[in-house]
Structure 1
Amino acid sequence: MASGSSSGGGAVNMDPDVALRLFEEGATLVLRGVPRGTELGIDCKSWQVGPRFRGVKMIPPGLHFLHYSSVNSPSCGGEIGPKTGLFLSLKPREILLANWDPKLEDLDFSASKNEEEVSRIRATLQELDPYLGPYPYEVMRKWVSLTDRLNEEVANNLQPLCGRICAFSDVIPETEFRHTKDRAEQPRNDTACQSMREGLDRLPRMKLREGTELRFSVIPKKTYPPGATPAEITQCCMDLSYALETVLENNHELQPLNLLGELQFAFVCFLLGNVYEGFEHWKRLLALLCRSEEAMRKRKELYLGLIAVLYHQLGEIPPDFFVDIVSQSNFLTSTLQDFFQFASGPGVDSTLRKRAEKFKAHVTKKFRWDFDADLDECAPVVVELPEGVTVD
């Protein structure tokens, strides 16, 4: 992600007529009081805020991701804090106003509800123009390619209730020890631990502060239906279609393709927001989609969309990113290997099969990954049997 100093000014290398139209029709973010040195970005580009910065202008209408990190003063080392982000859906010519809260080190958008204040800013927008940085149109194509399946409704449903996506989880103790007696009953920490387990047991159990959690779809731990036979359990562990259909029914029943929007939401949270939970959910969703053979035969449009989404996402990631340091196994290689195997199987739509073959060739050339290595078909499949069921 490119970075640079932002202190306002006009759009660079842009036709004056186009710039004027964008200025008149684009949305404007007026951000007052953001400290100098703050790392602030919108979509796929960020800047280090300069002394003249008052916001961003000429923003194309639609969904955007605003992200920022506070910075300590030089006397405190100038360290950059954890990143905070939020999705914004902007309308043509909209003015969104926020003030920097130095205590919370966060943007407060409550001023946007003051219609009189917003009207005053709109009337003096020309005077404010030199202090507004132009939207980075050079990365707009990339942003659109990463979010073309993500809409305002999906983003709002997935974003935390608090309205902020934070790189570091906001956690609190599961139990509040308000009284001395309660604290006295907890394990003492003034003696040496005999084991790692003992040390972990002494730590207070923590939970996410209510309202700060990302509201991702819940992927079922059991991938088979209630009352399934051992044979059915084995089949559902090899083909995750039942689990996928459960996720779609519970979260995206009316619009199944919104699952691709959720995949993009998770990826953006990780790529631009530094949210590791986003990466983990992206991996889980991807594994679910790529290992659902029956669904691949039934849901052609979902999988054609998945190929397009992955094509752009993989363009943003170094090829060795997914390699586990310990096992040297590549999560994405093994996941896509299953996908390509199922996509070439019987009953798969010919258009989807051809698209998958082209995508396989593209990924093979770009990353030099070998998807034609022999699959270990003889490896045992470990299944979880329902309670009370035994196999002789």
Structure 2
Amino acid sequence: MASSDSMDMDPDVARRLFEEGATLVLMGVPQGTELGIDCKSWMVGPRFKGVKMIPPGLHFLHYCSVNSPGCGGEIGPKTGLFLDLKPRQILLASWDPKEEDLDFKASKDEEEVNRIRANLRDLDPFLGPYPYEVMRKWVSLTDRLSEEVAVNLQPLSGRVCAFSDVIPEIQMRHTKDRAEQPRNDTACQSMKEGLDRLPRMKQREGTELRFSVIPEKTYPPGATPAEITRCSMDLSYALETVLENNHKLEPLNLLGELQFAFVCFIIGNVYEGFEHWKLLLSLLCRSEETMRKRKDLYLGLIAVLYHQLGEIPPDFFVDIVSQDNFLTSTLQDFFQFASGPGVDGTLRKRAEKFKAHLTKKFRWDFDADLDDCAPVVVDLPEGVAVD
């Protein structure tokens, strides 16, 4: 990472960031490590010692450790953490080669931080400037995500990891534990038998993302068959349950959770983030009653989705997002509910504009019957034979 990568920005902005921006001092990060902040990453060079001129606020630091050249120099899975940086703050970390991770303990040593601050000018040539050109994009992806929400959602370990840290459910420290496990000295008769012989794994405590729990049943206890049918078509009961249990004081924080899940996936490579994003989106888009009474939540949802869908590479839709028509069918329900009776006029107009924008940009037809699998009849010119 070098300062030649730097920012084409207004000199006044540059001076203000130099004076008020935060500094990440990252000592000992191995050369070749992929390291980034927010929406940009670099390969670490031999002179790298951190990032300077970081706008105060919430940021996502992410990195992939690299094996030594003798081991092929392979890049490991991505690790990330959310940081809420204050003006002129200096955050100090050193690379732990054993854990292949950054250790921020030094930031608690006030004497060491003051020493770094006093020598910041000497350190300056080794600090890469914050990639200001991605600042607007980063803010648009996280404007609803507060530090409090990010801290509450990220693992207790403080690290968001692309691959789950799993351990066996049964530690098998004793002979008796091992004796009770399926024997592996005979050939498996089926794939299921083979899978059953594998030790059952669970995520290491403290490493799991702490997303809101989505109710398995979308209807209240003791619901009549008619209520079950209604709550399966309009997911408002399930959505209100999520809001009550997780975001009671500030319902709009659910949009922050939607942004957190998206950032974890699109930048942190955490597939669980994508799965949770889909669940939340389906819940929000298919809750007609809630849409009628929570106008601000849905105006915010349109703004959040506008920026998120603008950042997804076009081929990504083909590979993942368009699987099973998830996005088009979910948004089709949203637009149908948004045009229904009792919906706020401003929300209805905003939804119509958003629908037109997506139709133009991605060529999605939200008025088509997505369940209609009948073959398309094509009129052929006269004289064209069909084998």
Give 1:44-123 correspondences, 5 Å limit: 44-123=39-118
Shift of 1:323: 4.7
Kindly provide the CA deviation profile for residues 212-242 of structure 1, in whole angstroms up to 9, marking residues without a partner as x: 0000000000000111100000000000000
Measured in 2, the distance between the counterparts of 1:36 and 1:249 equals 47
Kindly provide the CA deviation profile for residues 257-312 of structure 1, in whole angstroms up to 9, marking residues without a partner as x: 00000000000000100000000000000000000010010100000000000000
SS, match of residue 9 in structure 2: coil
Partner of 2:147 in structure 1? 152
Cα pair distance change 1:17/1:239, threshold 3 Å: closer
Measured in 2, the distance between the counterparts of 1:205 and 1:252 equals 34
Q: Does residue 1:199 correspond to 2:186, yes or no?
A: no
Which amino acid in the other structure matches residue 125 of structure 1? L
Measured in 1, the distance between the counterparts of 2:363 and 2:63 equals 35
Measured in 2, the distance between the counterparts of 1:13 and 1:247 equals 44
Q: Does residue 1:355 correspond to 2:350, yes or no?
A: yes
Give 1:115-134 correspondences, 5 Å limit: 115-134=110-129
Partner of 2:384 in structure 1? none
Measured in 2, the distance between the counterparts of 1:76 and 1:150 equals 39
2:55–2:87 Cα contact (<8 Å) kept? yes
Measured in 1, the distance between the counterparts of 2:324 and 2:246 equals 32
Shift of 1:329: 2.5
1:141 to 136, 142, 148: 136
Q: Does residue 1:313 correspond to 2:308, yes or no?
A: yes
Which amino acid in the other structure matches residue 224 of structure 1? Y
Cα pair distance change 1:65/1:294, threshold 3 Å: same
Please identify which structure carries the higher helix content. Answer: 2
Partner of 1:389 in structure 2? none
Unaligned runs of 5+ in 2: 373-387
Unaligned runs of 5+ in 1: 1-5, 378-392
1:323–1:331 Cα contact (<8 Å) kept? no
SS, match of residue 99 in structure 1: strand
Q: Does residue 1:280 correspond to 2:265, yes or no?
A: no
Kindly provide the CA deviation profile for residues 318-347 of structure 1, in whole angstroms up to 9, marking residues without a partner as x: 34534578x962210110010011001111
Cα pair distance change 1:86/1:357, threshold 3 Å: same
Shift of 1:188: 1.5
Q: Does residue 1:257 correspond to 2:252, yes or no?
A: yes
Measured in 1, the distance between the counterparts of 2:221 and 2:178 equals 43
Kindly provide the CA deviation profile for residues 179-226 of structure 1, in whole angstroms up to 9, marking residues without a partner as x: 123212311222221111111110111111000000000000000011
Which amino acid in the other structure matches residue 40 of structure 1? L
Q: Does residue 1:224 correspond to 2:219, yes or no?
A: yes
1:341 to 320, 336, 339: 336
Please, what TM-score do these two structures have when normalized by structure 2? 0.93
Q: Does residue 1:169 correspond to 2:164, yes or no?
A: yes
SS, match of residue 20 in structure 1: helix
Cα pair distance change 1:207/1:28, threshold 3 Å: same
Cα pair distance change 1:9/1:127, threshold 3 Å: farther
SS, match of residue 202 in structure 2: strand
1:238 to 230, 233, 237: 233
2:78–2:161 Cα contact (<8 Å) kept? yes
2:58–2:85 Cα contact (<8 Å) kept? yes
1:146–1:312 Cα contact (<8 Å) kept? yes
TM-align CA RMSD? 1.6
Partner of 1:387 in structure 2? none
Which amino acid in the other structure matches residue 84 of structure 1? T
Measured in 2, the distance between the counterparts of 1:196 and 1:289 equals 38
Partner of 2:379 in structure 1? none
Partner of 1:383 in structure 2? none
Give the fraction of aligned pairs with identical amino acids, expressed as a percent: 87
1:304 to 264, 274, 299: 299
2:31–2:46 Cα contact (<8 Å) kept? yes
1:19 to 4, 14, 19: 14
Cα pair distance change 1:40/1:375, threshold 3 Å: closer
SS, match of residue 58 in structure 1: strand
SS, match of residue 330 in structure 1: helix
2:219–2:228 Cα contact (<8 Å) kept? yes
Which amino acid in the other structure matches residue 271 of structure 2? Y
2:57–2:84 Cα contact (<8 Å) kept? yes
Measured in 1, the distance between the counterparts of 2:123 and 2:4 equals 10
| Greater mean alpha carbon deviation, residues 30-39 or residues 178-187 | 178-187
1:8–1:129 Cα contact (<8 Å) kept? no
Measured in 1, the distance between the counterparts of 2:217 and 2:48 equals 52
Partner of 2:359 in structure 1? 364
| Greater mean alpha carbon deviation, residues 242-251 or residues 18-27 | 18-27
2:265–2:272 Cα contact (<8 Å) kept? yes
Please, what TM-score do these two structures have when normalized by structure 1? 0.92
SS, match of residue 321 in structure 1: helix
Shift of 1:74: 1.8
Aligned length: 371
